[in-house]
Amino acid sequence: MTQVSETPEIEYRNQKGRYPWWVKTVDQITTETDKEQAERPHITKSTALYARHTTREDYETFIQDSPAIGLKYHLGADKMTALWHKQWDRMKRTIEENQPGHTLRDWQFNYATFGSFLSFDVNLDKLTEKTQYVNLVERLGIESWQGSRQEASKTVELVAKSLGATQVGISLVDPQLTYAEAQVPEELKYAITIACDWAPEGIKRMNTPLGDTAVFTAWLRMEKSTWGLKNFIRGLGYQAKILPAPQPAYAVLSGLGELGRTNRLVSPLLGTTMNLLTVATDMPLAIDKPIDFGLQEFCKRCKKCAEHCPVGALSMDNEPSWEPKGEWNNPGKKTYFEDSPKCASYCFRQSSVCAICFAVCPWNKQDKTLLHDVSKVLGAKLPFATKLLVKMDDMFGYGPTKKPDVLEKWWKMDSPLK
């Protein structure tokens, strides 16, 4: 395997068998883009990390003294503090009322899974030094592993999936898509994006503490798979680090799905219910092409995610737009821009990831029934059938539930998160 040049040689992976026949590989992503309008994203303006530090007992002082980044940048410290109080007041009330899906047992399981996620508070690279991990190339003073790009890509995919990833896509690092505040070494030219799906029983219970555990346990798999993959690549003699960037962009580039009405990834296999994280490396890899499964026309007609958003944060427009809703959006693409601060504020005060918009998406059917296979084919190939498919989705009762008996059934299952 040769060293990477400044302009990496492009070799595409064999896509045979990656997707069903109705998913096409394409040369360009299906979302229209305009590089002249595009700007590098800013982590300071992103609302994605609103949940960090909210478990601190000294949060009121902390949020006043901390930099104005993330949700604080848009709302200010006083409103953040008010939301923090509402969060804990609501939690106590639901526990005292013994609300189905919000009991003490439910909430504590939520925090047990959330608290198991290390990356918010721990430098995993430093933690690796305290484990039994050995970098054999460094320890033994031997040559880096050598192999073809196809073999290298197959290898990293196998390792990532063995460690918990559901899907893996590979693309090139685009400096325009990395956060402006971050520096990515120029030699890291390949992006390995990992998707970890949510458990269906958790999806049924979205916007409850139990539903959140499906997201958090997927985080744990994502953390394990990316941490292990980085150490594996480093042990072969190459560099690897987490890519500081909006993850849906790289997921789209690497053919894991298309950008949907939520302004997030929709996969033809997993729908919207997954976590994403990308590892950048200098190991030369064969990359994947973007895909097209008819989502752009489907999302124009469906609107189910926007209709079910409890705070109206998603666009109900009939067509995607070039005009961002606010500073939290990245210009340069034609999409359905969302009101992220409105969404994050609701999630904050609910102490929930909410994700109702993800849970109601008709593409989320992960069970392999003939009806669902036919529905996906119709959705991909016959856009005019979208509304019919949405009605069928509602008729069969898919998506999140508020039924007490369904919520309480969780604790009678053997292993609801598998």
Residue 10 lies in a domain: no
Q: Is residue 207 part of a domain?
A: yes
Q: Provide the pLDDT for residue 400.
A: 87
380 part of a folded domain: yes
**DSSP for residue 148:** -
Note whether residue 129 is domain-resident.
yes
pLDDT confidence of residue 376? 66
> Domain for residue 417, yes or no?
no
CB 270 within 8 A of CB 276: no
Residue 418 lies in a domain: no
Burial class (CB in 10 A: 0-12, 13-18, 19+), 344: buried
From first to last of its 418 residues, what are the pLDDT tens digits of the chain?
333 446 678 999 988 889 999 999 999 999 999 999 999 999 999 997 766 789 999 999 999 999 998 999 999 999 999 999 999 999 999 999 999 999 999 999 999 999 998 988 899 999 999 999 999 999 999 999 999 999 999 999 999 999 999 999 999 999 999 999 999 999 999 999 999 999 999 999 999 999 999 999 999 999 999 999 999 999 999 999 999 999 999 999 999 999 999 999 999 999 999 999 999 999 999 999 999 999 999 999 999 999 999 999 999 999 999 999 999 999 999 999 999 999 999 999 999 999 999 999 989 875 554 445 666 666 666 666 677 777 777 766 677 888 999 999 999 999 999 8
Domain count of the fold of the chain: 1
Distance of alpha carbon 270 from alpha carbon 324, whole angstroms: 27
pLDDT value of residue 323: 97
What does the H/E/C string look like for 289-332? CCEECCHHHHHHHHCHHHHHCCCCCCCCCCCCECCCCCCCCCCC
pTM: 0.93
The pLDDT assigned to 121 comes to: 84
Provide the residue range defining the domain that includes 390: 24-412
- For residue 120, what pLDDT is reported? 80
The number of angstroms, rounded, from the C-alpha of 265 to the middle of its chain's C-alpha atoms is 8
Question: Considering the domain boundaries, does residue 12 fall inside one?
Answer: no
Residue 14 in any domain: the answer is no
Model pLDDT, residue 397: 65
Strand, coil or helix: 191: strand
Nearest to 41 by CA among 164, 174, 189: 174
